Structure 1
Amino acid sequence: MIGPVVRHIEYLYHGCKSRSATLSEKDRKNHYKQMLHEDTDAGMMRMLEAFLESAPQLVLQMYIILTETPDDGLLMSIIRPVSMVGSWIGVSWSLVSYHKALRASHNEEEIGLSLCGTIFYYIWRACEVGPRVVVLALFASQFQYYMLIAVAVHWATMSIWVALQKPEFYRKTIDKIVFDVVIGYILIFCFQNVQSGHTRYRAMLYYFVIYAENLVMLVAWQYITTQKSAWYYFAALGIIPGAIVIHIVVQLLYYKCCHPRSMDIVCCINPVENYNCYQSVCHEIKSNEESKADTGVNNGQTFEV
């Protein structure tokens, strides 16, 4: 919990230094770059915190609602759904916040996300995370421990998949393993890119697996459940497939209409942002002169903005 606090303090420190009149322009620009990297690290930590805390709690709370007899008072029957919606919004927004910080840290001269782009990106992520949480809770309500087995298999598979992409963020083997496992956990809920270059095939493969899992779990729940008269029965059957359609449409609209470089994107060629999921701030910040001579390789990775 202390990590985000430290990052924010360092962010403020470098932000103040970047505006100091006593420093040279070169030093101010270096502090500004460091400030952007600190913001990216803080965003990464907020995102991890959201997925480690809020996402599992969302699944658990929805599971409790589906399996327990509703005997809460009026106040709790209002507070619990509001709390769940708030957690869903928080998890989705953590992805947006990190995405915006990542864009800025890779190229401070790059045009940032517009209001339209932010809205579309948020809807895209919300329609990715929300239905996943719902379908996991529905499946768990009927299959209990089998859901944990399914999630564990998915987690292990995604961790291996990340390792096979050979992200070069860390040199020590143990650090690489921890990174692969953590990103594999996030991939239980949503897509994160960990490799440079075009990612359309990796994204297509991931979303094919996720959509297939969601639909299989939904059909299995629909077949087994005895609560076919419950209010959420038909809602779930409509929300999950509908969210898949909205997710695809909004994602395409984002890249075609609202992406900062939408004019350079050919339709159906680059469906996923070519940013790595994480770049450690523990590297030397180069001056402008060094950056101009740079080949575009950072920490062993190329970043296409």
Structure 2
Amino acid sequence: MPWLPRAALFWDVVLGFLGTAAFLIDLGADLWAAGQYVLSGRYLWAALVLALLGLASVALQLFSWVWLRADPAGLHESQPPGRCLALLHLLQLGYLYRCVQGLQQGLLVWQREAPSEFDLAYADFLTMDISMLRLFETFLETTPQLTLVLAIVLQSGRAEPYQWVSIGTSFVGISWALLDYHRALRTCLPSKSPLGLGSSVVYFLWNLLLLWPRVLAVALFSALFPYSVALHFLGLWLVLLLWVWLQGTDFMPDARSEWLYRATVATILYFSWFNVAEGHTRGRATIHLVFLLSDSILVAVTWSTHTSWLPSGIPLHVLLPASGLCFLLGLALRLAYYRWLHPSCRWEPDRVDGTRGFRSLEGLQLPHNSRMTRLAQNFFPRVREAEAALPRKEEVNGVL
């Protein structure tokens, strides 16, 4: 195998290992924070940390289990029996098992001089599922935990060392999960060129800069009105859930699990943009941006009349202008990315459906992650348009 592909496979394994390590470190930090809150007598804070951690973990296990049950028979031949897998998911270890399985497959592919197309496709299949689960975990647990920590710091007027570490790692982890998900979308559509280093850095930065003002807005609202933030979240979440439902999502294998997906997407949309429907996304992204911006401005107006509720040491005169500058810079980087750095869509006619698909290779069906492919086709609408523009196979062969 050429040196460059082997190097790329090596870095895929390294990034997979780092992602798994980051998940374990984040889990340990959350448990450490909960323990510290208990020791200091702040039982409500500890309960909130553990509740967010538990709810996110249950959702992740449900996604993982439903996907495994929906995958083609015989695809995961090396997996343990179904009862063992069910037990792993009941013990909240399903996502961690997937990470370990992905690392094993990645090492297997990297160690072989000439890995088969099936092994390569299966490694991609596992990586895409892990990337999607990591994104869900990020917005169901990491982002709410970050908001909670910021609210606690703003309310108390000081931050402990472990809280600063939690804040920094959370921001980086959230932006990294968004970047990793975006790269995974491009992986499952080979007609899309991969993200370069410069594009990846800019994509990482604009997500980080746009996320900070939103998280700060919700954190300040939580610090000022700790008993009203639940109503605020629930009200916006119901509106976003309705919006997702009206777009007619079709991601999960059955109608009941589809509502789990819609509820998760509504939670993501509370903090950041996430596309769920086919077609051009510029209009929907603009509507979502204006919606969140309007909500954050209303929260900012509320701050201005209740700042006396916060400790005097909180530098709101610095935080508010800084968050506004972050938003403007993030928006500018986002526009620059999609104008000049977004990899172009180069359609390859020999790839009929624009995906790796379940293509035959000497009688062997290659694994194809249809879940991620549907999302990728929604995110990159020109792929679907190019597919529709291609002549059908019957037309090419002169058959009506």
Shorter-normalised TM range: 0.7 to 0.9
Structure 2 partner of 1:29: 117
- Answer yes or no: is 1:236 the counterpart of 2:319: yes
Residue pairs, 1:149-298, within 5 angstroms: 149-226=231-308, 227=310, 230-261=313-344, 285-287=358-360
Counterpart position of 2:42? none
Give how far 1:55 is off: 1.2
Deviation, structure 1 residue 36: 1.5
Partner of residue 134, structure 2 = 46
Distance 1:225 1:117, change over 3 A: same
Conserved in 2, the CA contact under 8 Å of 1:167 and 1:194? yes
Cα deviation 1:85-125 (Å, max 9, x = unaligned): 11111111111111112211222x53211111111111111
One-letter code of the match for 2:284?
A: R
Cα distance in 1 for partners of 2:311, 2:300 equals: 13
**What is the Cα deviation at residue 300 of structure 1?**
10
Contact kept in structure 1, 2:183 and 2:194, CA below 8 Å: yes
1:96 to 156, 161, 179: 179
Question: What is aligned with 1:65?
Answer: 153
Q: Which residue number in structure 2 is paired with residue 268 of structure 1?
A: none
CA distance, structure 2, for counterparts of residue 204 and residue 40 of structure 1: 27
Q: TM-score, normalised by structure 1?
A: 0.78
TM-score, normalised relative to structure 2: 0.61
Whether the aligned pair in 2 keeps the contact of 1:18 and 1:29 (CA below 8 Å) is no
5+ residue gaps, structure 1, are 265-282, 292-296
Q: Deviation of residue 262 (structure 1)?
A: 8.3
Deviation for aligned residue 1:53: 2.0
Q: Distance in 1 between matches of 2:374 and 2:280?
A: 18
- Tell me if structure 1 keeps the 8 A contact 2:150–2:216: yes
Shift of 1:30: 3.5
Structure whose CA Rg is larger: 2
Give the whole-Å Cα distance in 1 for the aligned partners of 2:178 and 2:267. 15
- 1:277 corresponds to which residue? none
CA offsets, 1:23-69, max 9 Å, x none? 8xxxx324322321211110111122222222111111111112125
Distance 2:96 2:193 in 1: 28
1:139 equivalenced with 2:221 (yes/no): yes
Report the residue type matching 2:359 in the other structure: K
Q: Aligned AA for 2:267?
A: Y
Indicate which of 198, 201, 223 corresponds to 1:116: 198
* In 2, Cα distance between equivalents of 1:260 and 1:212: 31
> In the alignment, residue 285 of structure 1 is paired with which amino acid?
F
Q: Contact 2:211–2:271 (CA<8 Å) still a contact in 1?
A: yes
* Cα distance in 2 between the residues matched to 1:149 and 1:7: 35
Q: How many residues align?
A: 272
Contiguous gaps of at least 5 residues in structure 2: 1-91, 348-355, 367-371, 384-400
**Partner of residue 80 from structure 1, selected from 158, 163, 174:** 163
Inter-partner Cα distance in structure 2 for 1:9 and 1:80: 29
**Which residue matches 1:2?**
93
Q: 1:205 to 1:258 in 2, by over 3 A?
A: same
Contact between 1:55 and 1:91, CA under 8 Å: does it hold in 2? yes
- Of 153-162 and 226-235, more deviation after overlay is shown by 226-235
- CA distance in 2 between partners of 1:300 and 1:141 (Å): 36
Cα 1:30–1:263 change in 2 (3 A) is closer
Contact 1:256 1:263 in 2 (8 A): no
Tell me how far apart the structure 1 counterparts of residues 312 and 114 of structure 2 sit (CA, whole Å): 71
Partner Cα distance (2:278, 2:111) in 1: 33
